Structure 1
């Protein structure tokens, strides 16, 4: 929350007097935390250093701990959540009564250093607090912290939230916090960390206002995201994160020039911070805690994964057309989300096709599912991906029939998240005609039963993975009940995506399919990455927009890369088609599909398309020979980079957590222009620099080349060499996204790509 300006000014004055007085009453001192880390008290400030490097410090004259009363308001609808922060009786003063060494398990010294004191003028109340620092045995290159505030009743109610403030440098920029799609640096922003539907528009107008009209919040804003992760990395190579246990709602406030404030919706929170030598080492330090993404199966390198709906005959026809000499599309797999059947859902102008969330094959669309999947592999070496999510839908009205009603079985066994008001399943709506429950992963009986369902009805068909969807819908109302009664729904919400990824990873490990299975998620939380081998950046609008269109894909990948997610991709062409009664319709053009395919080919770990939520009004890769030829060209471009990508995955992503897509700031943290590049350009590994075409009817791109004049960038298409620090306008016809060799390096892994460039440089593509 941003406290009103008048209150901020008063609070700062009060803190300045109280905190300085409290620190002055303590003698200067130094407390060793172990491994070279020391806490210092000097000149009205607390600071943690290692050698000559400052790791953490208080802001002179300002509080480092505070608290407030009041209950944040959270309203949810169909996976979208609107959060209103409420702060009452915010503590105005702080005292420090002591800095002591205490016994503490799991540390390198057997001890921790605790700062104790009192929060004062919390309305008519006060509260004791403790801030504890230590260096753990497990990760001795960082300092862990724990903030704990005693419960205290104010005139407005009990204290509920804490604030942890510390200094930053005025020129420090910030990256991470999960799937942030609107900003290059997060400097000057206040970022809420809460996983939810990202919305349709996210600030792109007029669609966001249309979607948010009449009290709705389905349009979202620039801060709503499927994936909120409480960690960031700064251009000072500082790493700050909350622990896996601290799953409550948090807000990271970077709006002040020389400080960071973490607002956390509880009276205790823990985490850690450190300072690395550079940004790559910072990512490695973060992922040493979170874990790193498991290896991608190598079959994904072989071509496109075709997103198709419509049944066996349609799929076979599109695959055979793509493999023909006329199209020459390398196909690694097909992704068939409608394997479980579809039903119409009413929408503006026309019905939208939705899936039956009952995890068995539909006997009309895919009557011989198991044999069909095997035949695709045997005849064409094409693998099949399906679709699974956290819901089970009531299929009693499914006109094409069903063999099992998983919804009825789970309801009878109380395997769903429950609602105590109705004393039954907490029914989740995803639009008219869908009645579903969300499985309760805190229930061991559910886990055992659902694992059997997946093994016997999903993996039995020799599929190679699926979209592992949702994870951000868990309700947070006071009448939400979980099997694990210790878990509070409000805190469990942000934990659910990690448990969903952990559960699915456990299933494929049990089936010995880790080298074969591809599971891609769009919602994640702290440490989800250790259990997912592919992240997908979610549902973007099928347009060119900044906050929720093709541009946002790159920005999300940038911040997810800083959050520990090395292996990412998007829906080629986007997903969300919007038809409104306001004379505004967002549908996919052939040009957008082609340019999105270029972007995916030179940025992503996997090349996969999606038909979108209303396929019949969108250009599809198979719509005509022009769209299929463009798509096939992009798939060949993707394949040509396979050896280069795979080498990076094996030597950098898997062992270190480094992302494939790297924003310029990673290599040039002191370049102020590089810091503010989000979607305009990026590195693919160390040796390629890319400036994608992300606007319609655009055939040349203005490119900034970071670095100094000793750094060179050679266009792979024209051979023109540009120098670091230079701006240039670069040609970008269809099929030739500006890609540059950095410093003239031609590694053996790049040879297939350079051969592709040589062979295809004369290819002409059309968007008819």
Structure 2
């Protein structure tokens, strides 16, 4: 192999051949361990032994840059993104490839390709692309790309392009709700409100009227997770400190282009033997989720609002109906106020973290009483905002907004030289706490300890994280550049802060804190992910179907423990004669889905509880809910075994896309919500449409794979479609390959015991 640099697309400069100071063998330059870098026939490639793990495409530029500022419009979390690419560089050369000293590497050195980006309008730039094997993670290659403009209009963003197999399908990039494989898509990585509808019509169009982006689209998501894995076992991730806006372009069959809104970017990649190995290598770098407390296995977490008397009555009634209850989730512990809406008022929470003395006047004693009398734990609610409670008619003890505003503890607006206000409808004015401010962290920790954790709660919904403005006049206390980069980092800071508080209080084995917003690396700080606010309907992009797709992609992004709001969250009442409310059937089928898919079984009343079927609406709905909770509990030994032996040690998800086990079965690559594996032993096809009494299920793999239908004990073989009965309470669940795990005995006992149970949605 020639030990000389490669020249590409020369248009402004002649290629300077710089001798490599290191000895170069025919196998390339060693990166350390089994990895080496080579350049042959105008192609840079990195091999692990004889396997190519990364390469450029022959003769094509692989680094580029452009000018222009991307446009982010919208507010209150509903951001619309317009990418602006002007004067993108069309040429590239390589002037040297050589070993350089580099800290943190296995060998003490790295291999660096240097050269120029050419024909960037009237600009040009120098770049350095450096590769090394990290000393602490020797199963991957890390990289750092840096671009230094040399002349002309200011370049603003970079592009890194590399080869992809045309037959390679791609998964991950966080909470993706609308696609099975991401191949052929161009995916923005930006944390924001997911929107109401996300392409399901007519609700999306109604919400997006008059220039609004409240309806979102198929790409809007709460998470900004810049990592993916592929059916080839490839894994790629940006570094957690690269929090700018990124876009992953998979639209060219043999090429992947990562567009990043900065002139420097770092990350890592590897190629494992299969998709499981890819997830394991990914999570070894980004982190693995802390242990899920064992008490969640004991039953349902009842989402209730309305005060102490109502809560206790519903708990007692559920226990009388043989509903196993692990806890209650009381988001209205801080009190509520009404906001006008079509037909009925919407109830909103007071974001002032103290108990409301009208609804929960004896909060600490009430929380303790539920635990002592019923063995029922209590979860509350906290978010990233503080609301001005000066208009709270039934009073308050502390106005945390006023305290934080006076101390400058909120994200600031430099134009007004004051708090950057978040308005969430009439009567609610709030600020976002600035987690980069050490004064805020100290003050807010005191608030959390004395007003949130002081009652014997067992955790809370840790809401929001995606609202930080991205305008030029937004300022945080400790900001490296501007709010544009702080925005995607905020969910990581929020998760880290909560985990730090839990650790300081010694509540690691008790606390359940669940988040919906996330960034690359957030998983190592949260023990439960919640898929966010979905419509209370059967929708693909933003309904019951979407939660399965989200959980599958999140699992392949390193988030092993997940759940959804049973029944969904978002009601919509409109003046357009189109309304979304929850039916008893949807509530029951969503409970079935949670029982056989989720790490935690938790319900939600929805944002307009009065128009929805609730699990406690009557004995019929409560009995269906209790049945599903019993099914969830029956699977607890099996779930816990997987959580402890595979999720904790390898980062593998509890809920698994069929393609992970059947990568050579082309039909599995297009399965999103239709079916999934719960661990290795159960294959599940949930009922996700109304009025369905039997379901056509595709059983993946070959004829050598067996699937035993648990409700009828009939055995089927892989590679075919089968039709099975799915009466209420019986999602299509199959034992895979005759598994006889002892951890499944309680579930199979449940099936035998409850097989004749008759449920109703009347």
TM-score, structure 2 normalization: 0.97
Point out the more displaced range, 624-633 or 483-492. 483-492
Measure, in 2, the Cα distance between the counterparts of 1:761 and 1:236. Answer: 41
Residue pair 2:74, 2:212 contacting (<8 A) in 1 also = no
Which of these residues, 170, 176, 192, is aligned with residue 172 of structure 2? 176
Is 1:736 the counterpart of 2:741? The answer is no
Measure, in 2, the Cα distance between the counterparts of 1:696 and 1:731. Answer: 14
Is 1:527 the counterpart of 2:521? The answer is yes
Which of these residues, 55, 58, 67, is aligned with residue 56 of structure 2? 58
Query: Counterpart of 1:749?
Result: 743
Alignment of structure 1 residues 614-633 onto 2, 5 Å: 614-633=608-627
RMSD: 1.6
Query: Counterpart of 2:507?
Result: 513
Residue pair 2:10, 2:92 contacting (<8 A) in 1 also = no
Residue pair 1:343, 1:354 contacting (<8 A) in 2 also = yes
Measure, in 2, the Cα distance between the counterparts of 1:683 and 1:207. Answer: 31
Is 1:164 the counterpart of 2:160? The answer is yes
Residue pair 2:411, 2:476 contacting (<8 A) in 1 also = yes
Alignment of structure 1 residues 134-153 onto 2, 5 Å: 134-153=132-151
Query: Counterpart of 2:585?
Result: 591
Measure, in 2, the Cα distance between the counterparts of 1:669 and 1:502. Answer: 35
Measure, in 2, the Cα distance between the counterparts of 1:195 and 1:22. Answer: 42
1:589-647 deviations in whole A, cap 9, x for unaligned?
00000000000000000000000000000100001111000000000000000000001
Query: Counterpart of 1:253?
Result: 249
Residue pair 1:17, 1:61 contacting (<8 A) in 2 also = no
Residue pair 2:708, 2:738 contacting (<8 A) in 1 also = yes
Is 1:467 the counterpart of 2:441? The answer is no
**Cα displacement (A) at 1:105:** 0.9
Measure, in 2, the Cα distance between the counterparts of 1:96 and 1:521. Answer: 45
TM-score, structure 1 normalization: 0.96
**Cα displacement (A) at 1:25:** 11
Residue pair 1:29, 1:42 contacting (<8 A) in 2 also = no
Query: Counterpart of 2:114?
Result: 116
Query: Counterpart of 2:129?
Result: 131
Measure, in 2, the Cα distance between the counterparts of 1:670 and 1:439. Answer: 48
Is 1:349 the counterpart of 2:347? The answer is no
Point out the more displaced range, 68-77 or 601-610. 68-77
**Cα displacement (A) at 1:485:** 3.9
Measure, in 2, the Cα distance between the counterparts of 1:228 and 1:193. Answer: 5
Measure, in 1, the Cα distance between the counterparts of 2:408 and 2:166. Answer: 53
Residue pair 1:164, 1:263 contacting (<8 A) in 2 also = yes
1:184-210 deviations in whole A, cap 9, x for unaligned?
000000000000000000010111111
Query: Counterpart of 2:486?
Result: 492
Residue pair 1:24, 1:44 contacting (<8 A) in 2 also = no
Measure, in 2, the Cα distance between the counterparts of 1:541 and 1:677. Answer: 21
Is 1:88 the counterpart of 2:82? The answer is no
Query: Counterpart of 1:562?
Result: 556
Runs of 4+ in 1 over 6 A off after TM superposition: 14-19, 21-29
Measure, in 2, the Cα distance between the counterparts of 1:706 and 1:24. Answer: 54
Query: Could you say what secondary structure the match of 1:603 adopts?
Result: coil
**Cα displacement (A) at 1:143:** 0.6
Residue pair 1:15, 1:92 contacting (<8 A) in 2 also = no
Measure, in 1, the Cα distance between the counterparts of 2:86 and 2:8. Answer: 17
Residue pair 1:29, 1:41 contacting (<8 A) in 2 also = no
Residue pair 1:700, 1:730 contacting (<8 A) in 2 also = yes
Query: Counterpart of 1:218?
Result: 214
Measure, in 2, the Cα distance between the counterparts of 1:213 and 1:611. Answer: 27
Query: Counterpart of 1:77?
Result: 75
Measure, in 2, the Cα distance between the counterparts of 1:711 and 1:68. Answer: 51
Query: Counterpart of 2:193?
Result: 197
Measure, in 2, the Cα distance between the counterparts of 1:339 and 1:603. Answer: 29
Is 1:235 the counterpart of 2:235? The answer is no
Which of these residues, 20, 28, 31, is aligned with residue 29 of structure 2? 31
Measured at CA, do residues 284 and 331 of structure 1 come closer, stay the same or move farther in structure 2, by a change above 3 Å?
Answer: same
Alignment of structure 1 residues 557-706 onto 2, 5 Å: 557-706=551-700
Which of these residues, 288, 293, 314, is aligned with residue 289 of structure 2? 293
Is 1:396 the counterpart of 2:394? The answer is no
Query: Could you say what secondary structure the match of 2:488 adopts?
Result: coil
Measure, in 2, the Cα distance between the counterparts of 1:128 and 1:183. Answer: 38
Measure, in 1, the Cα distance between the counterparts of 2:506 and 2:420. Answer: 34
Measure, in 1, the Cα distance between the counterparts of 2:475 and 2:439. Answer: 16
**Cα displacement (A) at 1:670:** 1.4
1:656-680 deviations in whole A, cap 9, x for unaligned?
1111100101111111111110100
Residue pair 1:544, 1:695 contacting (<8 A) in 2 also = yes
**Cα displacement (A) at 1:29:** 7.5
Query: Could you say what secondary structure the match of 1:273 adopts?
Result: strand
Query: Could you say what secondary structure the match of 1:294 adopts?
Result: coil
Query: Could you say what secondary structure the match of 1:495 adopts?
Result: helix
Query: Counterpart of 2:357?
Result: 363
1:467-512 deviations in whole A, cap 9, x for unaligned?
0000011111111111114352100111110110110011111111
Aligned length: 751
Measure, in 2, the Cα distance between the counterparts of 1:671 and 1:64. Answer: 32
Query: Counterpart of 2:406?
Result: 412
Which of these residues, 693, 707, 710, is aligned with residue 716 of structure 1? 710
Measure, in 1, the Cα distance between the counterparts of 2:707 and 2:655. Answer: 17
Is 1:279 the counterpart of 2:267? The answer is no
Residue pair 1:18, 1:95 contacting (<8 A) in 2 also = no
1:328-367 deviations in whole A, cap 9, x for unaligned?
1000000000000000112122210000000000000001
Measured at CA, do residues 63 and 22 of structure 1 come closer, stay the same or move farther in structure 2, by a change above 3 Å?
Answer: farther
Unmatched segments (≥5 aa) in structure 1: 1-13
Measure, in 2, the Cα distance between the counterparts of 1:580 and 1:24. Answer: 68
Measure, in 2, the Cα distance between the counterparts of 1:457 and 1:676. Answer: 48
Residue pair 1:23, 1:44 contacting (<8 A) in 2 also = no
Measured at CA, do residues 17 and 703 of structure 1 come closer, stay the same or move farther in structure 2, by a change above 3 Å?
Answer: farther
Measure, in 2, the Cα distance between the counterparts of 1:466 and 1:441. Answer: 19
1:540-571 deviations in whole A, cap 9, x for unaligned?
00000000000000000000000100000000
**Cα displacement (A) at 1:153:** 4.7
**Cα displacement (A) at 1:16:** 6.4
Measure, in 2, the Cα distance between the counterparts of 1:574 and 1:536. Answer: 11
Measure, in 1, the Cα distance between the counterparts of 2:41 and 2:611. Answer: 67
Query: Could you say what secondary structure the match of 1:370 adopts?
Result: helix
Query: Could you say what secondary structure the match of 2:454 adopts?
Result: helix
1:375-412 deviations in whole A, cap 9, x for unaligned?
10000000000000000000000011100000000011
**Cα displacement (A) at 1:313:** 0.6
**Cα displacement (A) at 1:23:** 12
Residue pair 1:23, 1:45 contacting (<8 A) in 2 also = no
Measure, in 1, the Cα distance between the counterparts of 2:404 and 2:331. Answer: 22
**Cα displacement (A) at 1:106:** 1.0
Measure, in 2, the Cα distance between the counterparts of 1:395 and 1:117. Answer: 58
Residue pair 2:75, 2:469 contacting (<8 A) in 1 also = no
Measure, in 2, the Cα distance between the counterparts of 1:616 and 1:15. Answer: 66
Residue pair 2:124, 2:149 contacting (<8 A) in 1 also = no
Query: Counterpart of 1:304?
Result: 300
1:511-540 deviations in whole A, cap 9, x for unaligned?
111101000000011111111000000000
Is 1:333 the counterpart of 2:327? The answer is yes
Query: Could you say what secondary structure the match of 1:494 adopts?
Result: helix
1:692-711 deviations in whole A, cap 9, x for unaligned?
00000011111111111111
**Cα displacement (A) at 1:24:** 11
